[in-house]
Chains A and B, each alone.
Chain A
Amino acid sequence: MPSISSKEKPMDSMYYGDTLIVDLEAGRTGQVSFDEVDEAGPGLPAGLALYEKYKEFDPLIFGSGLFTGTPVPGACLGFVLGKSPLTGEPAVAPLNLFAGAEMKLSGFSMVVVKGASAKPVYLWLHDGVPDIEDASALAGKDTWDTTDGIRREMGEGLIQVICIGPAGEAGSDSAALSINYWGSGDTAALGAVMGRKNLKAVALRGLGMLDADEPEEFYDGALELLASAKVDTGFKSMCSALGAPDLDAWLSPIAHRRRACFACPATCATFVKYNEAPSVMESTDVEEPGMLIANAAAALWLMQGGWDVEAACRAMEAMAREGLDMVRGARELSETPLTDAGKITAAVKALEGSTAARWTVAEPAAPGLFGPWVPPLGGYESWLEANRIGYSLGICPTFLLLCGTDTSRLLELCVPAAGLETGQDEIAGMYG
């Protein structure tokens, strides 16, 4: 258990309010003060404590780490935790891009979704208000239309939508939850759990601000860490780390821009254009010029399978739209390179029936709690530590591994952030 410094209760800062309990069966929400969350430790350890408490209800836990949503470099990470249909064990999916930060700002420290709804619904979490909304009109829609539909209905394009596509609705073992349009690092088929719950999406938006115990010290510390991060990283480093330095060159003919997640100096994602020239910078009439490749491992499988880059990206778009696990899907598709659009669509659709649970990267850990989303940089122990610290503090583990962050300095920031004194061993201890 982490020790407590000046505050009566740690983590009063950096988090909003109580834990939200969403009972989909009853169509009700309630908020509880859950002391075990504080005792367990920040981020995922708190989520695991909630999972244990509610596991008879097949819960999905949505949460964020201590620093998620703050200026600490890499502080983009939230998580979804649930029982993986693939293993029957608890597993986590990352909420990166801007979803983790918005999770934090939506006004809830942790959200437990239990039971299943009789009809399709989505959760609209905004500024501390939990609403269960009818999703009948979204049923059967792919992740792109679902994201657009919710954003249109709520009137704001920055709403972060964690959703499922047809694969998740069908409860497919190949289903993954998607962060907006772009898929996710869900390799545990938690998208299928959402489908079983008739939970089409969780939409997040908050306009609040986070507080720190010692705001100036915390902010200065965050800036120091940013200055010390190796920022000449990003997609190229990611490719090298995956053992595929040529992946960057393969994507480059259709690469339009690099993108980073919230508060991260590493531009790991690449937006590719294949429906118009990648050199076009202005907005045009082309409605969908391309997609964001936020999952380098999926692209790697297709490249190694001999796919043409444009066809591969179209296949990844199709998988993202269907709400499929792109890494496992890409591994299956890699065996038969395709170029015909109709055949690509059919092959992707066929993945929904796949029950193959092929773990590709980070074999030593998979299919454990963390899964293979984070590339195995620097050996298993480093990988495991980065996951543990990352999911506790809300820092992307890939950033920690890629950018050489000073972990002890990062942990020291817990004090000005939230009056929490903790260390590497204590964090490890939080995972049992």
Chain B
Amino acid sequence: MKGRTRRAASHPALAGYAAAFKSVPSVAVYCGAGASHSWIWFTDLLERLGIFDVRFVSHGEILHGGALDASDFLLVGGGDTYEMAGSLGEEGAAIIEEFVRDGGLYHGSCAGAYLVLDGVDLEPFTPFRLITGDMLNVMHEPPPARCLEHKYLAPYGRDWVFHPVYGEVELRPGPAADGLSVVNAARPLGAPLFGGPVLRIPDPQCRLADYAGVTDRAAFLWPRVDAERLITGRQAVAVRSLGEGTVVASGPHLEHPLFPLANALLAAVFARHHQKRVAAGPLPRATGETRARIEPDRVAPIAGYEVALLEIKRQVSNARIVGSGLEKMPVTWKIGVKVWEPEKIRMFLEYAWDRLPYLQDYAARGLPIPIRKLEALALGYGEVTGLAKTLKLAVESGEDSQAEAQTLLTGLKELTASFLSLYFRLRLEEQWRTAARYRGTDAHG
């Protein structure tokens, strides 16, 4: 874990929230069609909150796998909103709305926020109408960008969604944040805005946070003064109750691991929702305990784990070394409407790399891990290394590398979801094992 991430992880702002999730919610993180890399940031936040009943779900699992039937939260990060909306379709929109009305929490950042605004009323977004509001960063003929041109525009009918600022912005809590202990109205909190909406939310009671300004840690695609004028005082985060549930739509990525105060604001909203649900009675959804139970046929000799884990480590290391080589090359790839830089390759890989020691320690303690899953991951990361090398050769030789990049990034996204699913499952098993031990201690005085 890098220094700044480590400092953010130990920031006291989140310390109080883990207790709010003692009755563990079941969380689905969307990583299906259209999701970029930012969904992985939710994993940091969830870990810090001690929430380990986490699954990474695709649009297919939402549509046909009943993924939300067993979930309390659905978290959707950034990406290609067209691809998300098109893949989920009307049926997906209906499932998500029913999920919320039945008591679920929907949180969308960036693309996940655009998706659910009722003012974004254009195919394929029309069926998704969870929040009453609109986006202000849309224009028929936006002025040219001063920098980061590839990040500036996305088509929206005959108009363009544009992003005047890219990087850290300041937020000021709104009326919907009243009563949240994290809120300090005197001090704006920082959060990263990476193409998310500037919101117009008519109902003041739905305004969780407004944009308070920009910071020096941002790139200005418009002149700074114009960018500041456009966003300051506008809504950044909206929240509303819908049926028994809660909907949160956030322009900035409150879940980003380097912004602990933004994390705390999000944690506070999650906790408020969760406590309300817990107070209303037992959660109707499946508990983590039932899903976490170990299957006996998964037990393998420790040596088998060691070999498989070393192979995963070897291949993740190889792949991230190639990834770091690609980062020095002036290349980007456009997949759908989303531009991907080579840095994204290593972002995925770092999440596995940082969590491998836990798996190694878990195995060393003689605890069972599904060996076939490990072997599949080792194979998968080996393929990723090969794909990354092929991609690098294509870039170096000046060939069109679009197809190679798409194959690699799609595969890497799925593999990361698979790795993190296993990781969270083991963390959950351990959490339940510890809880059971405490219960046993209590029972025997």
Interface residues of A (CB under 8 A from B): 126-129, 131, 154-159, 205, 207, 209, 215
Given contacts A155-B389, A155-B392, contact A129 B321 (CB under 8 A): no
A155 touches B310 (CB 8 A): no
Q: Can you give 13 contacting A-B residue pairs, CB < 8 Å?
A: A127-B313, A127-B317, A127-B320, A127-B321, A129-B310, A129-B313, A129-B314, A131-B314, A155-B389, A155-B392, A156-B322, A156-B324, A207-B317
Asked if B3 is an interface residue, CB under 8 A from chain A, the answer is: yes
Residues of A within 8 A of B353 (CB): 127
> A131 — nearest CB in chain B belongs to which residue?
B314
Residues of B within 8 A of A154 (CB): 318, 321-322
Asked if B2 is an interface residue, CB under 8 A from chain A, the answer is: yes
Residues of A within 8 A of B314 (CB): 129, 131
A156 touches B317 (CB 8 A): no
Contact among B3, B324, B393 with A209 in the assembled complex (CB-CB below 8 Å): B3
Asked if B175 is an interface residue, CB under 8 A from chain A, the answer is: no
Expressed in whole angstroms, the Cα–Cα distance for A209 and B388 within the complex equals 23
Ranked 7 nearest A-B pairs via Cβ: A155-B322, A156-B325, A127-B317, A155-B389, A129-B314, A156-B321, A126-B317
> A159 — nearest CB in chain B belongs to which residue?
B321
A71 to chain B, nearest CB (A): 13
B2 touches A207 (CB 8 A): no
A282 to chain B, nearest CB (A): 14
Expressed in whole angstroms, the Cα–Cα distance for A159 and B318 within the complex equals 11
Residues of B within 8 A of A156 (CB): 321-322, 324-325
Residues of B within 8 A of A209 (CB): 2-3
Contact among A129, A131, A207 with B324 in the assembled complex (CB-CB below 8 Å): A207
Binary contact track B366-409/A, C-beta < 8 Å → 1, others 0: 00000000000000000000001100110000000000000000
For chain B, give the interface size range.
10 to 19
Residues of A within 8 A of B322 (CB): 154-156
> A155 — nearest CB in chain B belongs to which residue?
B322
Q: A129-B317, A156-B322, A157-B328 are in contact. List 16 more A-B contacts (CB 8 A).
A: A126-B321, A127-B317, A129-B313, A131-B314, A154-B318, A155-B321, A155-B322, A155-B389, A155-B392, A155-B393, A156-B321, A157-B325, A205-B321, A207-B320, A207-B324, A209-B3
Which of B310, B314, B393: most chain A CB closer than 10 A? B314
Expressed in whole angstroms, the Cα–Cα distance for A215 and B6 within the complex equals 14
Interface residues of B (CB under 8 A from A): 2-3, 310, 313-314, 317-318, 320-322, 324-325, 328, 353, 388-389, 392-393
B171 to chain A, nearest CB (A): 30
Expressed in whole angstroms, the Cα–Cα distance for A431 and B317 within the complex equals 36
B298 to chain A, nearest CB (A): 26
Residues of A within 8 A of B317 (CB): 126-129, 207
A155 touches B313 (CB 8 A): no
Residues of A within 8 A of B328 (CB): 157
Expressed in whole angstroms, the Cα–Cα distance for A231 and B2 within the complex equals 31
Residues of A within 8 A of B321 (CB): 126-127, 154-156, 159, 205, 207
Residues of B within 8 A of A207 (CB): 317, 320-321, 324
B345 to chain A, nearest CB (A): 11
Expressed in whole angstroms, the Cα–Cα distance for A154 and B392 within the complex equals 10
Expressed in whole angstroms, the Cα–Cα distance for A127 and B381 within the complex equals 15
> A151 — nearest CB in chain B belongs to which residue?
B325
B76 to chain A, nearest CB (A): 30
Interface of A is mostly: loop
Expressed in whole angstroms, the Cα–Cα distance for A128 and B316 within the complex equals 12
Expressed in whole angstroms, the Cα–Cα distance for A205 and B318 within the complex equals 9
Residues of B within 8 A of A127 (CB): 313, 317, 320-321, 353
Residues of B within 8 A of A126 (CB): 317-318, 321
> B310 — nearest CB in chain A belongs to which residue?
A129
Expressed in whole angstroms, the Cα–Cα distance for A222 and B252 within the complex equals 38
Expressed in whole angstroms, the Cα–Cα distance for A128 and B357 within the complex equals 12
Expressed in whole angstroms, the Cα–Cα distance for A156 and B324 within the complex equals 7
> A129 — nearest CB in chain B belongs to which residue?
B314
Which of A126, A205, A207: most chain B CB closer than 10 A? A207
B392 to chain A, nearest CB (A): 5
Residues of B within 8 A of A159 (CB): 321
Expressed in whole angstroms, the Cα–Cα distance for A126 and B325 within the complex equals 14
A142 to chain B, nearest CB (A): 22
Expressed in whole angstroms, the Cα–Cα distance for A131 and B2 within the complex equals 25
B351 to chain A, nearest CB (A): 14
B212 to chain A, nearest CB (A): 31
Expressed in whole angstroms, the Cα–Cα distance for A159 and B393 within the complex equals 16
> A157 — nearest CB in chain B belongs to which residue?
B325
Residues of A within 8 A of B318 (CB): 126, 154-155
Expressed in whole angstroms, the Cα–Cα distance for A157 and B324 within the complex equals 10
> B386 — nearest CB in chain A belongs to which residue?
A155
B358 to chain A, nearest CB (A): 15
A13 to chain B, nearest CB (A): 14
Expressed in whole angstroms, the Cα–Cα distance for A154 and B389 within the complex equals 8
Expressed in whole angstroms, the Cα–Cα distance for A154 and B321 within the complex equals 8
B266 to chain A, nearest CB (A): 28
A155 touches B320 (CB 8 A): no
A7 to chain B, nearest CB (A): 20
A212 to chain B, nearest CB (A): 11
Which of B314, B317, B393: most chain A CB closer than 10 A? B317
Residues of A within 8 A of B313 (CB): 127-129
> B388 — nearest CB in chain A belongs to which residue?
A155
Expressed in whole angstroms, the Cα–Cα distance for A157 and B3 within the complex equals 26
> B390 — nearest CB in chain A belongs to which residue?
A155
Expressed in whole angstroms, the Cα–Cα distance for A57 and B389 within the complex equals 37
A31 to chain B, nearest CB (A): 11
> B314 — nearest CB in chain A belongs to which residue?
A129
Residues of A within 8 A of B393 (CB): 155
Contact among B3, B310, B325, B392 with A158 in the assembled complex (CB-CB below 8 Å): B325
Residues of A within 8 A of B320 (CB): 127, 207
Expressed in whole angstroms, the Cα–Cα distance for A159 and B317 within the complex equals 13
A155 touches B2 (CB 8 A): no
Which of B2, B318, B388, B392: most chain A CB closer than 10 A? B318
Residues of A within 8 A of B310 (CB): 129
Expressed in whole angstroms, the Cα–Cα distance for A394 and B353 within the complex equals 28
Expressed in whole angstroms, the Cα–Cα distance for A237 and B367 within the complex equals 61
Which of A128, A155, A205: most chain B CB closer than 10 A? A155
A150 to chain B, nearest CB (A): 12
B308 to chain A, nearest CB (A): 14
A242 to chain B, nearest CB (A): 36
B364 to chain A, nearest CB (A): 14
> B346 — nearest CB in chain A belongs to which residue?
A207
> A215 — nearest CB in chain B belongs to which residue?
B3
Expressed in whole angstroms, the Cα–Cα distance for A207 and B345 within the complex equals 14
> A124 — nearest CB in chain B belongs to which residue?
B318
Residues of B within 8 A of A158 (CB): 324-325
Expressed in whole angstroms, the Cα–Cα distance for A159 and B322 within the complex equals 10
Expressed in whole angstroms, the Cα–Cα distance for A157 and B325 within the complex equals 7
B428 to chain A, nearest CB (A): 28
> B319 — nearest CB in chain A belongs to which residue?
A155
Which of A129, A131, A159, A209: most chain B CB closer than 10 A? A129
